[in-house]
Amino acid sequence: MFVTEAYGQETAPATEGGHGEAPADAGYDAAAPADAGHAAGTEVPHDGGHSSAFPPFDSSTFPSQILWLAITFGLFYIFLKKVIVPRLGAILDVRQTRIAQDIEQATKMKADADAAVAAYEQKLAEARGNANKIGQQARDNAKVEADTKRKSIEASLEQKLADAEARVAKIKDAAMQDVGAIAEETASAIVSALGGKSTKGDVSAAVKSVRS
């Protein structure tokens, strides 16, 4: 980008006549090669008016360096603006859209999970309520059935007790009748053994008076 110029100076001592030929007493050999003076004249002088500093550090090249720097920066800025930034923006938009979709899907899944948990808890509560209701109904039915059976058994026992008491009374009456007959016969036999006379009616009345 930067070119340094090298200047060569050919020095040929001029004669008084201005023809540029060396005088005879200048010490030059007439048989010397023709390019000897040319080789000597290609040397770069150290004080020719040009700086020998490194070009980027040469103050005389600063304007051109600033110009090319501005052109390069402008081209790089245009490249960034037209190529790099749109691509980065598109990538960021795609990632942002994907992240938003993932968040939305995760939110939806969480809402579905919460709804499923709420429905499960509701079903569980209903099942517990139904189980308690069924258990209470079973207990009530068992209690009613037990009360019915108890009452039936009590009624049966009372009936059997009444029947037993009736039979006992009947047996007692029969036994008392037998006792009365035996007592009348015994009383008649005793009266007869004592030599007395008595009628059956008298003996019966006497036995009945004793029994009462």
pLDDT mean by block of 10 residues, the chain; 212 residues: 42 42 42 42 47 71 88 94 91 94 94 94 92 91 90 89 88 74 73 66 67 60
Is position 126 within any domain? no
Is position 38 within any domain? yes
Cβ 5 vs Cβ 55: under 8 Å = no
Is position 30 within any domain? yes
Residue type, position 170, single letter: K
Is position 167 within any domain? no
Residue 200: count other Cβ atoms within 10 Å of its Cβ. Answer: 10
Is position 156 within any domain? no
Per-residue pLDDT, 178: 67
CA 87 vs CA 49, 75, 80, 97, 100: distances in Å: 52, 17, 10, 15, 20
Per-residue pLDDT, 73: 94
Q: What share of the chain is helix, strand, coil (3-state, %, to 5)?
A: 75, 0, 25
Range of the structural domain that residue 43 is part of: 8-50
Per-residue pLDDT, 173: 78
Is position 22 within any domain? yes
Return d(Cα 199, Cα 206) in angstroms, integer: 11
Per-residue pLDDT, 113: 94
Is position 46 within any domain? yes
Per-residue pLDDT, 189: 74
Is position 58 within any domain? no
In the chain, the number of structural domains is 1
